[in-house]
Amino acid sequence: MALSTDTVAAAATETPDGTLVGRNSDSKIGFYGATPAVQPAALSLASVTAAQLATALASIGLIKTTA
């Protein structure tokens, strides 16, 4: 099923498990007023640094970083 370009309709699409958000890697999501962004690249748990993790979380608005 193709997602609607209407963000309200796309966000309201439910499955038996609940509402899906960011279903595809190119679907944009944003939290707490952050500009919506596509899914960050996957990080390898074996080699991820705290800075890489912080950058990925900040890109979608889940955390704020300071300079």
Its domain, for residue 60, covers: 25-67
More confident site: 60 or 20: 60
The per-residue pLDDT for 1 is: 47
Mean pLDDT of the residues in the chain:
74
The per-residue pLDDT for 21 is: 72
Task: Say if 12 falls within a structural domain.
Answer: no
In the chain, the percentage of residues whose pLDDT exceeds 90 is: 1
Task: Say if 19 falls within a structural domain.
Answer: no
pTM above 0.95, yes or no: no
Q: What domain count does the chain have?
A: 1
- Element holding 15 (H helix, E strand): strand 14-15
Q: Identify which of 29, 46, 48 has the alpha carbon closest to the alpha carbon of residue 38.
A: 29
Task: Say if 14 falls within a structural domain.
Answer: no
Task: Say if 18 falls within a structural domain.
Answer: no
**pLDDT tens-digit map of 26-57:** 888 888 877 888 877 788 888 989 888 888 88
